[in-house]
Chains A and B, each alone.
Chain A
Amino acid sequence: MTESPYEHHDYDVLIIGAGGAGLRAAIEAKQRGLKVGIVTKSLLGKAHTVMAEGGMAAAMGNVYPEDNWQVHFRDTMRGGKYLNNYRMAELHAQESPQRVWELEQWGALFDRTKDGKILQRDFGGHRYARLAHVGDRTGLELIRTLQQKVVSMGTDVFMECKVLQLVHDDDGHVAGCVGYWRATGEIVTFQAKAVIVATGGTGKSWKFTSNSWEGTGDGHAMALWAGAKLIDMECVQFHPTGMVWPLSVRGLLVTESVRGDGGVLRNAEGKRFMFDYVVDMFRAETADTEEEADKWYDDHTAGRRAPELLPRDEVARAINAEVKAGRGSPHGGVYLDIASRRSAEFIRRRLPSMYHQFMELAGVDITKESMEIGPTCHYIMGGVQVDAESAATAVAGLFAAGEVAGGLHGANRLGGNSLSDLVVFGRRAGIGAADYVESGASATGFNMGEVESAVKAAFEPFDRSEGENPYDIQRDLQEMMHVNVGIIRTESELDFAQEQLEVFTERVKNIAVKGGRAYNPGWNLATDLPAMLTVSKCVARGASLRKESRGGHTREDFPQADPEYATFNFAHSSQGGQWDSPIRTDQSPLLVMPDELKALLEEAK
């Protein structure tokens, strides 16, 4: 037993994060008879997964029987501009149907086809209607189902408990973590034979984002500090359709289902502009005329797909270009119109949350008027480099799944592939961690020195009588990242951003917080900022090094994709393991794809 002066818990498998991936991992590890604990910054069931709207992609073939995993694999690789870990894309395409059906056994109620199967809807970049869904609240259904399953299995859940740092043993295995209870500010230590990070994304480093407050990159940063590598961090997805007005809800997500269900994008002149932005890669499968596109919605064999359903990176860039050319809406977006194309009854049934959201927050009736939308920071494709089969990282005892893991989505994620990612790789992380625990190779100690230094750093802001307000630093960081490491990037801005991030590092060291430790959001934010800065640095470095445009990374000064850059990922590692340690970046070669998978991609060209 470790002698910890703090509240201490012991687990076989400890999972940090209670979104879709963390909960799915917990179910798997628990089924193996292991002692499983889940730690979450928020209450159970509030994770960012609830915000997912459109659906989860799985080639079940319920609507188009010609759909299969090979087509889904191909779509995912093409959407990711071939930067993907092919093995992850292959496993994801093969296993996602099973993961969706399994949710029904646990109580999920998906929308149905006429013959009683799970209904699937169209989404950008997916050749066939493939997204299992519940109206436009699929993420809520996913998290509630997994949450109810986890609770019914009697899993321990530590709610409103913020993890500060991972802890090793003397041999460098990950052995647990240290954190604090948000309600009291008291320190708590968790020792574990295996740790899974499933902490989601890092969108809160940008000004306009669809992410909730939790998206501060905690898991990305903790894994990096603990010795894991982060790949593809420059690949950040700006979702094409976020709300732009009123300002207070700017960035709030407007589901891609609006376009999947027939909505189109128009500029201030009323022109359906996406036809002007079809790149060569997708030209053969995209409609040339409005007439052809409109036929396609009802029957995918009657015409080619509508250009509004190109992958998200393409659509976001097109919107950006229209606004820049002066053809935007009054508040700097463009129009998303479903009112003129579908009946009010259809819209209310298929898109109830969107109807509700616009009616209550913007006073806009989407069955009668167009929505004003523009790109919003939504997702990071990059993340912890993992083994596809087991979700193991470069550090013994540490696993990663969900948005915090990198590789599956390459340079750009297709809509709907995130929810399926969570359950496919959440399950695999649970298996990987359980196998590791059963192999007996786990950590043998718990480095209290690491605990003490993390605790000291966390409490320092209380010791300063004078210093900066953490909210000021967060606001300035968001503004800086938005301007300089946003949707379109260029050398000089990226250089400036990297200099600024060093300035922010010094500012964070001078934070002073008011009040006590009990449920103090100012202090909580102060403990999130080191992770936000670490992750922002990796994004800016990757963006500076990748001198080409690919997927979610667009360079004004290098507008084309360069085949040289399609052979490796930029992999970041920490030189020292502290939050302010220097970061080193190497080229990590992509896995070599077997010939039969290469052939699948060739067919598409």
Chain B
Amino acid sequence: MNDQWTDRLSNYLDGELNVAERAELEEHLSSCAECSAVLEQLRQVVARAQSLENRAPDSDLWSGVAERIGAAAAVADLDEHRQRKQERLGQRRYSISLPQLVAASVALMVLSGGSAWVVSKAGGAAGEGAMPTATNGTALVSEAPADLATSYDAAVVQLELILKESRSQLDTATVRIIEENLSIIDRAIAQAQRALAMDPASIYLQEHLAATKRQKLEFLRQAALMAGAVS
């Protein structure tokens, strides 16, 4: 046994040798008990590594993570915030500033424009395979159940309810603009869902639908925030 051969054993195990190198090494192994023994030991090392199981940390690390991301003080429990909102109701009326509304509207126009493009593409090129498609079932949105049992839908419903109950805190013009913008987002979501129904495996469409839903969730959260319903 010498380094000339042992140095090749890992590559041999991993199938990294070419045909000639492999044949040469196998010929050597047939006559060298020491190298054969080392090869077997290396196999055991690899098998041991592959059989390791993951272990959770001994102590809870979440509290440290939560503190660092600000989750400890964040809006995490909507029920609790609804209760806080009830206490604040009737205190004063809020208006969304003009720049905020402009920003929201521009974002939504871009969003709905993107959806329209998606739908048109889905109706045309998607059927010809022009869209990127999932190969391993890692769909971002299609995995999610469509009913209200999903946590996303539940959060949206709850925020919509909060907003509905808090609309008296907003002036009429603000309420109207919020409703118009929510309507635009809902249309964008519906368009994305229709496009996805035509091409369920498309990663692009899954991603677009997820982004649109995130947009709605964030818009609702911001609107509820401005209405003083959450903090």
Chain A complexes with chain B: no
